[in-house]
Structure 1
Amino acid sequence: MEEEKGKYINTEFGKVPSDWRYCTFKDVLITFSSGATPYRAIAEYYKGKIRWISSGELNYNVIYDTLEHISEAAIKNTNLKIHEPGTFLMAITGLEAEGTRGRCAIIGAPSTTNQSCLALNGTGKMTTDYLFWFYRQYGSYLAFKYCQGTKQQSYTAAIVKKLPICCPKDHQEQTAIATALSDTDALIASLDKKIAKKQQIKQGAMQQLLTGKKRLPGFGEGNKYKETEIGLIPDGWGVIKVGDAFQFLTTASFSRDQLGSVGNVQCLHYGDVHTKYDEFIDFNFVELPKVIGKRGLSYPLLRDGDIIMADASEDYTGLCKSVEIKNIGNKKAISGLHTILLRDRNDVFENGFKGYIFKINEVRKQLIELSTGMKVFGVSKKNLEQVFIPVPTKPEQCVIAQILTDMDKGIAQLQEERDKYIQLKAGMMQVLLTGKIRLMKN
């Protein structure tokens, strides 16, 4: 390690202050022990009260309780160690998987672990709070470079001891860095809770409003109801089959590899429906991958009010996930691989309302009952045509849609604020963990 002219030294992680340590894990940390799995055939081993952590529970978190608990006999006969709060845990097996690389946690209450977790403790040279944030930043990089194995990439204690690390020499500076990042993380977590609460409130409002159980001022005087195929709905409302309300249009089958950034026709992939959007895709703010060449023009172009539905899902929660098209204007777009394109057949629903109609329990229940598959679930077009959906009067559709849209805007504002803090935290990690910004004077 050669000191540069000035105040910095070169490290594997870039330049860091010359008054920092640049060393290996074994120079500043202790323990380096993994756990074990008590023999599953002895049921009594898993009837105790002692916390037992598996690597799947490491999620950049503080672990106060565990999915499974074991007995004193399991600890004695498996030679397990109970780790104290503050112990750092890192996943050491299966690191070829993107979701596992870099996973870590801090023990919040006395616990044992399985063999896929490596426990490390701090010393007078490093705190585990600082280690937690350092590893969150560089854990994936370290796994790519240093873990071993062909089919399954893993660490051993010997490998981990040789991993490089940089840190301030002063515990107080380490603590200041960890505290600043933890405070930002806590703010993000609080925003996530607010978002989840507002989404829950919106889901409840959607269920009540779209089934007529809650009527809005100016609608439903007398609150009379009638029995239908989906239960009681207000007088003045109707019920219609999907096949009578919508026509099914042709969709494309372009794979991701056949889409790019250049072209005249955008293409909505089923993966986008599942992961990127909720009830609507607003083309004022969206730019989708494009079909290369002119092949996209042979398929129906999307219009405002069209419903795009994913035709398969790995679980029931994503079954027939759907979105409504908004503000497409003069843009050209088509519905792509593994999607179903529904277009209003008889002007039954108002635009801006249709994005919500497949979300209520009465419709979801029908979709689940009509689904087929073992590992992947789907509903055939023939079965989808038979699903009943409620039809409020058009004036009531407009008011319901406005209420839900306003809720969506409130959620979106919180998500935008949360995302800004996520970006801020990423920037903070980069500059604080390399000493580009110091939180304490030298």
Structure 2
Amino acid sequence: MDMKNGLKMTELGLVPEDWEIEYLSNCCSKITDGTHDTPKPVAYGIPFLTAVHIKENRIDFNNCYYLPVPVHEAIFKRCNPEKNDVLMVNIGAGVATTALVEVDYEFSLKNVALLKPNAAKLTGSFLNYWQVFYKKNIVSSIIGGGAQPFLSLSQIGKLKIPLPAIPEQAAIATALSDMDALITQTEKLIEKKKAIKKGMMQRLLSPYDAEGKMKIGWEILQLGEVIKISRGGSPRPIQNYLTADPSGINWIKIGDTSIKEKFITSAQEKIITEGIYQSRQVFVGDFLLSNSMSFGRPYILKIEGCIHDGWLVLQEYQNTFDSDYLYYLLSSNFVLNQYRSLAAGSSVLNLNKEIVGNVKLFKPRSFQEQTSIAKTLNSIEHEMSHLNARHEKLLFLKQSMMQTLLTGKIRIYKPEHEPATPI
């Protein structure tokens, strides 16, 4: 098919000429929802799902509630989810989130819509992927005012969907499902590596051996006695000190960090030189700690600049700690639990110089041993970075596939005598 001439403009955008546009009400045999009551859950019984259990492309049965059989049966008479049906959140923050039913056993619903595709027109897997792809459009069409988002069953029925032939729907859904499998596999590997890293940090950074005795050559120090701690400062009003001059001083903020990154490598804003005298200057190799957001999360600077009073800076540690070892120690539960304990009692968890200064740090006296521990942890961190990069790439590829497959820009199944477009 010549894609330039083989497309038609519809209310859903350009789609192939042989695709139809239909209301969901015309291609679903049933659109209903679960109970609006709040039945009392029990410890054991039939699974009972609410909106919080419907995740994008996934149903969370692991954390569901349970109902007695008679209560379930009363709900199930009207709303009977079955394999290959689609569930849609129709009220609250997760409105329009959908998931395909992939289990054979019965369960009940509350405040979740049930869509039963008419098998002659629509497959559940294609419907689910289309709803995921078109979710933002649905949400933007119903949000307004202060009321929480809500999709009535009538509104759901009036949603439109493009309808390729059933074999093409199945081919599209299979391609996207295969991509989902790769994404899930990568996510499991990431979680496995996280668990390994956590266990290694617990073992390598602890000053005690398996018998609870202090490791030979280790010592415990008070952070404030071996590291200089300072708080940032903000020139005010800050607008008077910001500059677009590329040669200005880096003005380092929380927004310049990434939760996945260990280093701060750039700053979005800069200030004029005069701002240095009302702020705190920091240098390459210094550690920054957020004193509120991302509570206690350490970052190592790879740039010079100035920091506002939302940061604490740790300096002059180099004679006592290897920088990578110190990073992992400050990131560990050994230290984070001390922050929480020392900050307990305040309404909001905030760090200050006194709290950080009172934290106990433990380390091998030997720099060689510190470096060896850090290299081991760096190795697994490197593996996790590769997995995270792969995960992000797969998510991007899936989004691209949805954009092209669900709109017919690429055809992986075509009417007879027309070759498919390679992906």
Map 1:37-436 to 2 at 5 A: 37-40=36-39, 43=40, 45-63=41-59, 65=61, 66-75=63-72, 81-94=79-92, 97=93, 100-109=94-103, 110-115=106-111, 117-123=112-118, 124-146=120-142, 150-168=146-164, 170-212=165-207, 232-253=213-234, 264-270=248-254, 276-278=259-261, 280-281=262-263, 283=265, 287-291=266-270, 293-294=272-273, 297-298=276-277, 299-312=279-292, 319-325=295-301, 327-328=302-303, 332-336=304-308, 338-345=310-317, 347-372=319-344, 376-392=348-364, 393-436=366-409
Uncovered stretches (5+) of structure 1, i.e. residues with no partner: 215-222, 226-230
Indicate if the aligned counterparts of 1:62 and 1:106 stay in contact, CA closer than 8 A. Answer: yes
> Are residues 354 and 13 of structure 1, via their aligned partners in 2, closer, same or farther at CA, if it must alter by over 3 Å?
farther
Once the 2 structures are TM-superposed, how far is the Cα of residue 362 of structure 1 from its aligned partner?
3.1
Letter of the structure 1 residue corresponding to residue 132 of structure 2: R
User: Compared with structure 1, are the counterparts of its residues 310 and 250 closer, same or farther at alpha carbon in structure 2 (3 Å cutoff)?
Assistant: closer
- Name the CA distance, whole Å, in 1 between partners of 2:10 and 2:115: 23
Q: 1:302 to 1:101 in 2, by over 3 A?
A: farther
List runs of 5+ in structure 2 lacking aligned partners: 416-423
Looking at structure 1, the residues matched to 4 and 190 of structure 2 have their Cα atoms a distance apart, in angstroms, of 49
Query: Match of 1:218?
Result: none
Q: Look up the SS of the partner of 1:308 in the other structure.
A: strand
Give yes or no for contact 2:264–2:299 (8 Å, CA) kept in 1: no
| TM-aligned CA deviation for residue 63 of structure 1 | 2.5
Equivalence for 2:26:
27
1:205 and 1:162 mapped to 2: Cα distance? 54
SS of 2:156's partner is helix
- Provide the C-alpha distance between the structure 1 equivalents of 2:159 and 2:50, rounded to a whole number of angstroms: 23
CA-based RMSD: 3.0
1:157 Cα offset (Å): 0.7
Shift of 1:101: 4.4
Instruction: Give the structure-1-normalised TM-score.
Output: 0.82
In 2: Cα distance, 1:413 partner to 1:17 partner: 38
Alpha-carbon shift at residue 171 of structure 1 (Å): 0.9
Q: What is the Cα deviation at residue 39 of structure 1? A: 3.8
1:156: Cα distance to partner?
Answer: 0.3
TM-score (normalizing by structure 2): 0.85
With over 3 angstroms needed to count, the CA separation of the structure-2 counterparts of 1:296 and 1:53, relative to structure 1, is: farther
State the shift of 1:27 in Å: 2.1
Aligned residues: 402
Q: Quick one: which amino acid aligns to residue 175 of structure 1?
A: A
Q: Percent identity?
A: 25
Q: 1:149 to 1:126 in 2, by over 3 A?
A: farther
- Worse overlay, 6-15 or 180-189: 6-15
Q: Secondary structure at the match of 2:100?
A: strand
| Cα 1:50–1:432 shift into 2, 3 Å | same
Change (3 A) 1:39 1:206: closer
